[in-house]
Amino acid sequence: MKPLSIDVVSDVVCPWCYVGLRRLNQALDLYRSHHPQEPEPQVRWHPFQLNPELVPEGVPRAEYVRTKFGDRAGDVYDRVKAVGQSVGIDFNFEGIARQPNTLIAHALIGVAEPGAEQHRLVQALFDAYFIDNLDLTQNQALAQVAREAGLDDARIQEALSDRGLHAQVSQADGQARAMGVSGVPFFIFNGEYAVSGAHEAEHLLQAMEQACAETE
C-alpha cells in the first residue's frame, strides 16, 4: 500500500500554523498507533506568505500588529496563547521585535529533505520566531536555525542567495492561492482530501483515514 501523503501549506510566522504542526504531530501519533502495519506517512511543507508584500527587512512588530488588529490585538493573541498552551506552546508574542518577510525561510524549507529533516526545520523556525524571538529578517539567524536543524552550508547558501529558488517559492505561493488556499494551515491528504485550519488531532486523524479509504 502507498504511504499516506500529507501536504501542508503554511507560513512560519503564523501562530495557528504552529498549533497546526503540533496537532498534526498528535494526529500522526494516533495514525501510527491505529495503523501499525501501514507505511510511514509522507509529509511535505509548502509555502504561503501571510505578508508577501513586506520588504525584505520586515517592519516593526508593534506597527504591524496595530495596523492588522487595532484594538483587538490583545484579545486575538490571548486566545492564541490559550490554545497554544493546550498543545505545549508557550508563545512569547511580546518578545517579537520585527514582522519578517518569510521568502528566505520558505526557501530554506524548500531545500530541506522532505520528511524528517524538513519537518524538523519547520519546527525549528516556529520555535525561533515564537519562542526564542530570533529576527528572521537576518540571514545569519536563518542560517543558524537551518544549520542546527541539520542542513549543510551548501544548501543554506543556496536558499539565502539563489534568486531562481526565491522565484520558485513565490510561484508555489501563487499556485496555492490559485487552487483556493486563502488561509493557513491548509492540509491536503493523498492529493485529494483538504482540511483548512488548525483542527484538533482527532479531526485530522479522521481526515487521514477518510483520504486513505477514498483513494484505495
Domain count, the chain: 1
Q: pLDDT tens across 27-37, in order?
A: 999 999 999 99
CATH number for 106: 3.40.30.10
Domain encompassing residue 40? 5-214
* Residue 216 pLDDT > 80: no
| Contact in structure between 189 and 18 (CB atoms under 8 Å) | no
pLDDT tens by residue, 133-158: 999 999 999 999 999 999 999 999 99
The per-residue pLDDT for 2 is 78
Say whether pLDDT at 215 is over 80: no
pLDDT tens digit string along 158-181?
Answer: 999 999 999 999 999 999 999 999
Q: Where does the pLDDT of residue 205 fall: very low under 50, low under 70, confident under 90, or very high at 90 and above?
A: very high
